[in-house]
Structure 1
Amino acid sequence: MRFSSTLLLIGLTTSVFAAPLDNAYHKRAAVLTTRAYADFQISDGVAGNALAEVQAKFPIDETDLANVDPADVSIISDARTTAESAETDAFNPAIAAASGAAATALQNGKIKNKVLKLKLEVLQLQIEQAQGSDNAAKITTETTKLNTNIALDKKAAGQASQSVAFTG
């Protein structure tokens, strides 16, 4: 009797350690907070480092996208939409109305804004992919656009970059 109790106890203990861990234990808490466009835009300053600036403003652990908090995904989505609206509703008219160095600085700011928008788009698609959606084709398309704009930003490295006033 004693032998079977000990064996049962060892068996139960072993099964507890061998059982797969539930994903709930791996879920991370939200790391982002909702902010106005002026607080997360990256267009001011100088061109050349847009991708790193986006990653600093949106510090998502890209090594574990399957466990990104849904609140962070929502913030990423909203920020991407806002950055897109800033491009069409503020940057484009401002660039059309400017000339010379001011137009160049605004264009550099627009490129940095596009890096912001596209990085957030790709990040959201990658998170959704890691969580079960099939976004492979869209990720490829948007990554190509992102890489093009990163290259444009790097080409203008050191040049002035200007943001636009935009409420979002």
Structure 2
Amino acid sequence: MHFSTSIFLFGLVAASIAAPVSNEKRAAVLSKQAYADFQISDGVAGNALAEVNAKFPIDTSNLANVDPADAQIISDARETAESAETDAFNPAIDAASGAAATALQNGKIKNKVLKLQLEVLDLQIGQAQSGKDNSAKIAAEQKKLNTNIALDKKAAGQASQSVQFAG
């Protein structure tokens, strides 16, 4: 009996040593940038989500370990994209007409995909790191994101125009 207890304890110790350590934080992968450097509104419509993911390459498989600096950059960029929408895109669209207005509207949709993808990421990171249940907010923002992704895809190939915004 004493022999089997020793083997059991040895096995338990060996298993605990071999277990992967999952509480290590990853190094930051993002850097703070001006809006002009991370905006995705220029070019053509149709691929906004992939453009956002290329600008913000966060590994979504383990959001609990996102570096706090990256989490802050995502939050700040989301706020900046929202300000660009309300303070720059809306007035520019109101002042434009024809093809220019369409290109600006396409740019605004791409900016909304940027803003909403960052909002969803921000909420998911917050939930993963704090344990606070953000699922209702995540679902609401994801629904808005899906709507804007569909609008972007519907306008695929059309010109998309950014706005000047210091954020």
SS at match of 2:23: helix
Q: Write the deviation string for residues 39-85 of structure 1: whole angstroms up to 9, x where unpaired.
A: 00000000000000000000000111111111110000000000000
Q: 2:164 matched to which residue of 1?
A: 165
TM score, norm. by length of structure 2 = 0.90
Partner of 2:99: 101
Instruction: State how far apart, in whole Å, the 2-side matches of 1:143 and 1:69 are.
Output: 23
Question: Which residue of structure 2 lines up, in the alignment, with residue 42 of structure 1?
Answer: 40
Give the TM-score normalised by the residue count of structure 1: 0.89
Aligned partners of 1:81, 1:136: CA distance in 2, in Å?
Answer: 20
Corresponding position of 2:154: 155
Deviation at 1:28, TM superposition (A): 0.8
Aligned to 1:139: 138
> Would you say how many aligned residue pairs link Structure 1 and Structure 2?
161
**Which whole-Å CA distance do the structure 2 matches of 1:24 and 1:138 have between them?**
26
Tell me the alpha carbon deviations over residues 72-131 of structure 1, each in whole angstroms, 9 at most, x when there is no partner. 100000000000000000000000000000000000000000000000000111111222
- Indicate the larger mover: 49-58 or 10-19: 10-19
Matched, 1:81 2:84: no
Tell me how far apart the structure 2 counterparts of residues 59 and 165 of structure 1 sit (CA, whole Å). 24
Alignment root-mean-square deviation, CA? 1.8
Percent sequence identity over aligned pairs: 75
**Which ranges of structure 1 fall in alignment gaps of 5 or more residues?**
none
Structure 1 residues 116-149: Cα deviation after superposition (integer angstroms, max 9, x where no partner): 0000000111111222121000000000000000
Are residues 1:30 and 2:22 paired? no
Aligned counterparts of 1:34 and 1:15: Cα–Cα separation in 2? 44
